[in-house]
Amino acid sequence: MFSFFNSFSTSLKVALLVWPFVALVLTFPLLVVQYMHLRRLVFGRIIMVYLVMLYALALLAFTLYPMPDNPVQFCSYHNIVPQIEWLESIMEFRYEGLRAVLQVVMNVVFFMPLGVFIRMMYKSRWYLVIFLGLAISLTIETAQLTGGFGIYPCSYRLFDVDDLLLNTCGGLIGYWLGFLMPNLSNVERGSAITTQPGLVRRLVAFMIDIFSSLAIITIIGISLYFLSPQLAKDLSYESLIILTILNILIQLILPLICKGRTIGGMLTGISLDDIKRTQLHRLTFYLARLVYIGLFFYADKLFAQSAVAVLVSLVLIILTIITWKKYKNLPYKLIDIFWKNHEKSII
């Protein structure tokens, strides 16, 4: 028995280590979609989305992973025959006792969170839970039968037709248990566009902007690699130039021509035009914002000496803390104060 589990040890350790972090990364795009839909983030739904990702990854891990580390050896010594007789596995308790009972119970329990999530997050009918539970269970069982749809050279988990019934029942039980949980489906939609967002909303929009530029430069790098691997070996200088151009487009050009909205602002309903500004004032404001972002995130690339980069970052952090404590805003907003006091002399 232990020798069987030893074949999964390396994969299992890796999976357990990265599981919560992968779930956290996958939660972010789901929160963005939720924010686009509701124009706000509710703490309960944030936690629930993360739990959904944890559950989804755990479900995949328990049903499909870990794969045996030595496929040739495993496939040579194992020939797993699918179980296609209805109720055959369920009735095994007559011969295998507690082990068979636990297997039946766990197949039900594994899908109970699915029903709970659907009941808490959405206004769905019970028959939708049956459909989703059956569809997800069938997908998993098919993956087990085909070695993860061909990823593994043979079937390494048992396809059991009774699991379809047990999993679906588990989802339905979870749906009815959802009566006991808080209702997170009735969330009031936030304002379409705001110029005074909360801190979380600001961070979501800003992270979207950062990820957008990094995603674009990653796509460019991958494309160059496939076109010419030799050319893509050392592009650190070119990458910095491309990243600078992307940030100018996203943080300066876009808000100037799109009423104060960056990519993140468009997705989260935030406009940076929180006060009425002249065109010159707007240009100065967005230039100051661009410089602030550039120095804050790319100081290590802009300055050859690391000590200078650290000093610049430290000054920016202190300035950010001071301006946020005094004005509840970031340092580049000081441009507005300066402009208000010197507008006549500037014009």
DSSP state of 251: I
Cα(165)–Cα(62) distance, rounded to whole angstroms? Answer: 18
Cα pseudo-dihedral 278, 336, 262, 267, rounded to 10: -110
pLDDT attached to residue 7? 46
Could you report the average pLDDT of every consecutive run of 10 residues in the chain (347 residues)?
Answer: 45 66 81 72 82 87 76 79 76 71 88 91 84 93 85 83 92 91 72 69 81 80 67 65 86 90 83 85 90 81 76 88 84 83 62
pTM above 0.75, yes or no: no
pLDDT attached to residue 166? 92
Distances, alpha carbon 175 to alpha carbons 6, 43, 233, 315, in Å: 37, 22, 53, 53
Cα(208)–Cα(274) distance, rounded to whole angstroms? Answer: 20
Domain boundaries in the chain? 2-70+78-180, 193-274, 277-347
pLDDT attached to residue 164? 92
Contacts of residue 115, Cβ cutoff 8 Å, sequence gap at least 6: 129, 133, 170, 171, 172, 173, 174, 175, 176, 177, 178
Tokens 């109970």 belong to 112
**Residue 109 three-state SS:** helix
